[in-house]
Structures are given as C-alpha cells and as structure tokens.
Amino acid sequence: MKVVWIYLAVSCLTIGKCLSAEILPTSKFTDDVIGENKLTLISSSIENIKTLTSCPQEFGEEGIYEISVPGHSPFPVLCNAQIAGAGYAVIASRSSSELNFYRNWKEFKNGFGDLSADFFLGLDKLHAITKSQAHELYIHLEDFNGNKRFARYDEFYIENELEYYKMSKLGAYSGDAGDAFAHKNAQFYTFDRDNQNSCASKRRGAWWHNACTWSNLFGLYYGGDYSKTLSDTGLTWEHWRGRYYSYKIMKMMVRPKSCCP
C-alpha cells in the first residue's frame, strides 16, 4: 500500500507542532464505533511528530486519512483537494437519495454513512476539529443542470453537546451561492431534540435551525424542483435556487485557517 503523509495543524499557537497519519482504507460509521475495520494512528513516534513542518494547505494529495485532535480518539476523515484547494476535511457529503439523513440526535452526534460515498462525520468529531484551532467552512452545491456554486465562511466553530453543538462562530461570507447560513449562535436540532418552532420536524432535516429559514442541507433529497405542498423539507439553500429546490450534490468542508510554524 502506498503511504502518503498528511500534516494536520493542531493547536499551533500553543504547541507549535502537527500530527501525521497514513492513508487508510474506507470505513463505515455505525452508532458508536467506526465499523469492524477500526483504524489506528500509524505514525505516533515523538521523533516523527517533532520533525514535521508542512501544513495541509500545501498538501495536494487527497483520500481517507486518520487524524488526531485534542479531546477525541483518532478517527478517519475524507480529505479533498479538488473542489476548493488542498487541506479541506469533508464533514458532510450528499449526492443521492440512498442515504437517509432524517436521523436522531445520537446518530448525528456519532456520525453515519460511508466516507467513500455519502455521510456525516459526526458532531462530536466536528466539535473536536473546530476546537483544535481556528477553521473556515466551505459549502459546495451543484444543481441538476451541472451548475456549481459555493459559500465560504472565514471562521467556523461549534460548541460541545452540553450546548447543543451551538454554532458560536461563523465568520464573514464570500462566494456566489448567497449567504443562506447566517445562523450564528443557532443550536443544532434533530426531530427528537427540536427547538420551540419544531424546525427539524417541520423541515424534515436536522440542522442549525434559526426560525426554520434559508438553508436545510440535511433535508430530504427530492431531485430538483419540488412542490410547495412539501413545505420547505428539501435539501435547500434558499439564496441560490430558491426555497423549493433540492440540490443534486452538497459538500460541507472545513480547513484550518493557518499552518503550523
């Protein structure tokens, strides 16, 4: 197996070092563990960690890697270098109706799906990643006509489970998809842990809901335009194709804002 190294910036301002990991096979998520082929951190020697100097933004390879961040045991992520440049970890991917995203709190906490297809990485892992250092968020959308748009936010941080994974930091928007994720300080909701407006239940999608408006990227996969009688329940990003359009492809990705020294 060909070995390729990725350098993940972790708490650069405080410890000034990066962690490395080897490219590894695909694994599927379950409720509590990462499949039968649970991955382990291959490179863990102090000598190797101390000698690393590069950062993920400068690393052109992509694939499934295992990373280690403070506050969580090592876990695999899908690294993408094609959509928006190197260094992005994909936290959610949707491209068909095969994977059901209308799931409960426990499943969104732990993650579900297949890293080689559609999946959600998990809120606990996402909290650990964004806590390790400052990250940016990139949202990629594609409609059924082959048109592509994006939304980038120059800072992104979610709190832990005790605060319902509140999105306490969402930086400045740039892109051409429109700012449909202006939900700063919104908590994450699922149908079994919903807000007072029952947004996750009404819109058939777990999300950082704020008065049930503008975006619902974990909503139902309808395949383009859908009827208003379905009441805003699609995979929607209202500021591009409108409220009643469900996109073909969606990816959410995060990347560290700075490299290690």
What is the CATH classification number for the domain harbouring 120? 3.90.215.10
261 within a domain of the structure (yes/no): no
30 within a domain of the structure (yes/no): yes
227 within a domain of the structure (yes/no): no
**pLDDT confidence of residue 29:** 43
137 within a domain of the structure (yes/no): yes
- Residue 258, token pair as written in the block: 């700075």
Residue-by-residue pLDDT tens, the chain, 261 positions: 333 333 333 333 333 333 333 334 333 444 333 333 332 233 332 222 221 222 246 656 677 877 888 888 888 888 888 999 888 999 999 999 999 999 999 999 999 999 999 999 999 999 999 999 899 999 999 999 999 999 999 999 999 999 999 999 999 999 999 999 987 889 999 999 999 889 999 999 999 998 887 899 999 999 999 988 888 899 999 999 988 999 999 999 999 987 553
CA distance 53 to 55: 7
138 within a domain of the structure (yes/no): yes
End-to-end CA distance of the chain: 30
**pLDDT confidence of residue 122:** 98
Question: Which residue range forms the structural domain that includes residue 86?
Answer: 5-92+112-181+252-256
206 within a domain of the structure (yes/no): no
Specify whether the CB–CB gap between 250 and 139 falls below 8 A: yes
Q: How many domains does the chain have?
A: 1
Query: pTM of this prediction?
Result: 0.81
- Residue 204, token pair as written in the block: 């058939």
